[in-house]
Amino acid sequence: MKKLSIVAPLVVSLGLLSAVTANAVEGIATVQIVDAIAITAVNPLSFGQIIAGSGASSITLGLDNQLAVTGTAVLAGGTHSLGSFDVTGGFGTHYTVTLPATATLYSGTDLLSITSFSSNPSAGAGVLDSSGEQTVFVGGVLLVPVAVTTPTGLYSGVFDVTVAYN
């Protein structure tokens, strides 16, 4: 009889243990549908007017919208400006900016290059505001060869700025 009383509480305890080891809860699933991300060019990237020097030069248009010359080229006035692009999409969403490695500017068959593109916000830091908008500013470095190989003229070209949701 004693054996029976020891075994019975053990069986009852095991039954209670199995009853509390299983449990269920409902999960919640959500999704927010947002507008597709888009980008529109607003202002061109412009280095103003430059006089090519006796040696190769580079003109940096920084994200502070200031020009800096390395070499013998001379700033000759004109209007310089960062390129600006409006990005739209889902409010509060994060996105990346992709810039080219180089771009070519043409005046007839003559050419100049832009390198070292930079942007504000930087590559991975874009966040659309509560209206789903943000402006991206783009600067870069214009490479100007020596004056004897750089004919005067208006040089222009295009470059791609790509945005994508993170």
- Decide if 12 is inside a domain: no
Q: How far apart are CA 120 and CA 118, in angstroms?
A: 7
CB under 8 A, 24+ apart: contacts of 7-15: none
- For residue 157, give both structure tokens: 């070209």
Q: What is the 3-state secondary structure (H, E, C) of 103-156?
A: EEEEECCEEEEEEEEEEECCCCCEECCCCCEEEEEEEEEEEECCHHHCCCCCCE
pLDDT at 114: 98
Which amino acid belongs to residue 6?
Answer: I
Within a domain: 31 = no
Does 103 reside within a domain?
A: yes
Please report, in tens digits, the pLDDT of each residue of the chain (166 residues total).
Answer: 555 555 555 555 555 555 568 899 999 999 989 899 999 999 999 999 999 999 999 999 999 999 999 999 999 999 999 999 999 999 999 999 999 999 999 999 999 999 999 999 997 789 999 999 999 999 999 999 988 888 999 999 999 999 999 9
CB proximity list for 97: less than 8 A, separation 6 or greater: 119, 121, 122, 123, 124, 126, 136, 161, 162, 163
In a domain, 11, yes or no: no
Q: How far is it, in rounded angstroms, from Cα 104 to Cα 29?
A: 49
Pairing type for strands 50-51 and 46-47 reads: unpaired
**Domains in the chain: how many in total?**
1
d(CA 97, CA 105): 22
| CATH number of the domain where residue 158 is located | 2.60.40
In a domain, 113, yes or no: yes
Is 64 a domain residue? yes
As a whole number of angstroms, the distance between CA 53 and CA 146 comes to 6
Task: Give domain status of residue 15, yes or no.
Answer: no
CB 52 within 8 A of CB 150: yes
* Domain encompassing residue 53: 36-165
Q: What is the pLDDT of residue 17?
A: 53
The whole-number pLDDT of residue 139 equals 98
Check if the beta carbon of residue 145 is closer than 8 Å to that of residue 50.
Answer: no
Q: What local confidence, expressed as pLDDT, does residue 7 receive? A: 53
pTM: 0.82
* In a domain? residue 14: no
Write phi, then psi, for 75 (nearest 5 degrees).
-75, 130
pLDDT at 11: 52
